[in-house]
Amino acid sequence: MTNPPFKRRRVVVTGLGCVSPIGADVDSTWAAALSGRSGIGPITRFDAKEFPVRFAAECSGDLDLGDLSPKDARRLDPVAAFSLHAVRQALEDARFESTPETQDRVGVAIGSGIGGLGTLENSWRALFSSGPRRVSAFTIPMAICNMAGSVAAIQHRLRGPNLCVVAACASGTQGIGEAARVIERGDADVMVAGGSEAPVTELAVAGFANMKALSTRNDETTLASRPFDLDRDGFVVGEGAAALVLEAEEFAAARGARVLAHLRGYASTMDATHITLPAEDGEGAGRCMELALRDAGLSPEEVEHLNPHATSTPLGDLAEAKAIRRVFGSHADRLPVSATKSMTGHLLGAAGALEALLCVQVLRHGWMPPTINLDRPDPACDLDHVVGVAREQSARVAMSNSFGFGGTNATLILASEAG
């Protein structure tokens, strides 16, 4: 007796939520992105005057932590607090509330590259200044990466699959892609997926700065993130979270949900070349885009918008531009590219989730955010950049790329219609 053939379920996006350096929710973030506003400025999280890099992309404003008590809220690392805020927004936007009848079929997949690093720093200080008895009993549960999703699952009684992808700067994108796979194979009907990161800490900023990964424009902070520009000199550390509510298409239809987009394709590949540097020819990144297109059943010419990884590093932007050229050929001349890290900085494990959210907004609203600070485009990165100001142009298919330390690549393809 043979098993029946596997029937892959279609996945739709029904809700969005975020907190970012340019807005405390989806509407404010989208408005700031369209206006080309930078969220980068001097670091306020700690005294950075002795640091070689003294600026970052920080979030501001109050976080909505639901019915969490002040005592419990104080025990949260910011990476979990950002996640709670974004997940709550996304579920409200989807008009979805878990019930005893549905909760076992609703899961969470929130990726994070480094988790609660600030908690670990504070605990090390307590250990070395006051001894082991002064280390908080909540150190480990506050610091581990999966707590970003676990606290959201606990608060909303989401008892289905619970994933935490840790893949450096590809974590959020992989979290969304793997959540879609869970739905496709029938292990859940709904997944809240995305990424969260809180890396504006002394250790993270010092570590990234000392490896020469960061921009050093301390006196020109809003000009520091400049993807594909000849004068780019490194990325800007950012923080925040973004979450998408994913549902099986038939489940969403049965409850009358509003469909914002369809998740058409996903792929992940590995460069297998270096722990931090991308493959110079962009082979792994290009292969990832090609596999995502195959997964979506689309040709390169059908993609009408691209949000690249584009961190503003000399090698990374060049490698990605080469990969885009190889995958899209002459279509790259008319494929609009919006490098939104120019405004938000690099949210590391949350970056891909925020950029996937922005792709959904492009599909919905027919506007493409600009790449700011692209004053002298690098001729080696010759693409159809949306430069300086937003472009009013509709798109039916959008691609979002994320590439992380270790050589991990991930690509999502979102569409306004099912395929």
Catalytic residues, by residue number, are 169, 309, 346
Please spell the DSSP secondary structure of 101-131, one letter per residue. Answer: TTGGGEEEEEE-SS-SHHHHHHHHHHHHHH-
Tokens standing for 183? 């739905």
Cβ(76)–Cβ(84) under 8 Å? yes
What is the number of other CB atoms lying within 10 angstroms of the CB of residue 44? Answer: 11
Specify the amino acid at residue 143: A
Cβ(198)–Cβ(228) under 8 Å? no
How far is the C-alpha of 279 from the C-alpha of 272, rounded, in Å? Answer: 8
Question: What are residue 412's DSSP bridge partners?
Answer: 266, 400
Q: Are strands 261-270 and 11-19 parallel, antiparallel or unpaired?
A: antiparallel
What is the number of other CB atoms lying within 10 angstroms of the CB of residue 314? Answer: 13
Tokens standing for 327? 């995958």
Cβ(204)–Cβ(117) under 8 Å? yes
User: Across the chain, how many H-helices and E-strands are there?
Assistant: 13, 15
Tokens standing for 290? 């090609």
Helices (H), 131-187: 139-143, 147-156, 171-184
Q: How many residues appear in the chain?
A: 419
Q: Are strands 391-392 and 367-368 parallel, antiparallel or unpaired?
A: antiparallel
